[in-house]
């Protein structure tokens, strides 16, 4: 029996990482075989690639180099972490996946969605998530949340201008329109408890549909 691959997407400060952890705890309490993982990262090699990509000192990084590194980290993470768990019938909750590359590298960095998609299809051999939750919040709100929680890791991409974050949001909304069956939007401007409730409802509705 094959399991479920669910990804969590969104701009900076959307709260997706917090919600992902809470969904994981809930599923564990319910006795489900669930793991939480993230991109870039989620395996020893992929975490090392993450350090290279997100190093605040690497300001000279070329956009295509960055796209290749994300795809390389993704490949390793998929093979080592995601696929084995899904094959065992488990649930994988993954913080970001291919959509992040389409949005950040394809649109915001201007490489082009289709070019970045081709690169990623090579890396993933076409594997896409069963369900994607997109946490939608205005960049001003997300960035203000980050400023409040200074304890969070500050990375090179946090230094981008507000216009970049607006491009990211527009690109996510565009992807959601392109793939409404897979990508479900969650209003992430609400209180975290409400965002969690909505996320659980979306996942449960998806699981019920899958079994009927």
Site residues (CB under 6 A) for ligand TMP?
12, 39-40, 70, 95-96, 100-101, 104-105, 155, 157
Question: 121 or 157: whose CB is closer to ligand TMP?
Answer: 157
Q: How far is the CB of 30 from ligand TMP (least distance, A)?
A: 26
Q: How far is the CB of 101 from ligand TMP (least distance, A)?
A: 4
Question: 68 or 207: whose CB is closer to ligand TMP?
Answer: 68
Report the residue closest to ligand TMP, judged by CB: 104
Q: How far is the CB of 120 from ligand TMP (least distance, A)?
A: 8
Question: 45 or 89: whose CB is closer to ligand TMP?
Answer: 45
Please state the three-class secondary structure of the chain as a single string: CCCEEEEEEECCCCCHHHHHHHHHHHHHHCCCCEEEEECCCCCHHHHHHHHHHHCCCCCCCCHHHHHHHHHHHHHHHHHHHHHHHHHCCCEEEEECCHHHHHHHHHHHCCCCHHHHHHHHHHHHCCCCCCEEEEEECCHHHHHHHHHHCCCCCCCHHHHCCHHHHHHHHHHHHHHHHHCCCCEEEEECCCCHHHHHHHHHHHHHHHHHHHHC
Work out whether strand 91-95 and strand 4-10 pair parallel, antiparallel, or are unpaired.
parallel
Question: 103 or 131: whose CB is closer to ligand TMP?
Answer: 103
Question: 32 or 117: whose CB is closer to ligand TMP?
Answer: 117
Q: How far is the CB of 89 from ligand TMP (least distance, A)?
A: 26
- State residue 135 phi and psi, 5-degree precision: -90, 105
Q: How far is the CB of 65 from ligand TMP (least distance, A)?
A: 12
Question: 31 or 151: whose CB is closer to ligand TMP?
Answer: 151
Q: How far is the CB of 207 from ligand TMP (least distance, A)?
A: 25
């Amino acid at each position: 029996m094959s399991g479920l691959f669910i990804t969590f997407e969104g701009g900076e400060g959307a709260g997706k990482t917090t919600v992902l952890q809470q969904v994981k705890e809930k599923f564990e309490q319910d006795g489900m075989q669930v793991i939480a993982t993230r991109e870039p990262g989620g395996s020893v090699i992929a975490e090392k690639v993450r350090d290279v990509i997100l190093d605040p000192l690497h300001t000279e990084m070329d956009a295509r180099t960055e796209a290749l590194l994300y795809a390389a980290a993704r490949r390793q993470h998929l093979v080592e972490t995601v696929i084995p768990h899904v094959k065992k019938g488990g649930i994988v909750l993954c913080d970001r996946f291919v959509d992040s590359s389409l949005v950040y590298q394809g649109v915001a960095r201007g490489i082009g969605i289709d070019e970045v998609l081709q690169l990623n299809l090579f890396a993933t051999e076409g594997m896409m998530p069963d369900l994607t939750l997109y946490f939608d919040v205005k960049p001003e709100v997300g960035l203000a949340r980050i400023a409040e929680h200074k304890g969070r890791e500050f990375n090179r991409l946090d230094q981008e201008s507000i216009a970049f974050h607006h491009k990211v949001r527009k690109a996510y909304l565009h992807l959601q329109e392109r793939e409404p069956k897979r990508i479900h939007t969650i209003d992430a401007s609400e209180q975290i408890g409400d965002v969690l409730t909505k996320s659980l409802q979306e996942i449960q509705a998806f699981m019920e549909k899958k079994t009927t």
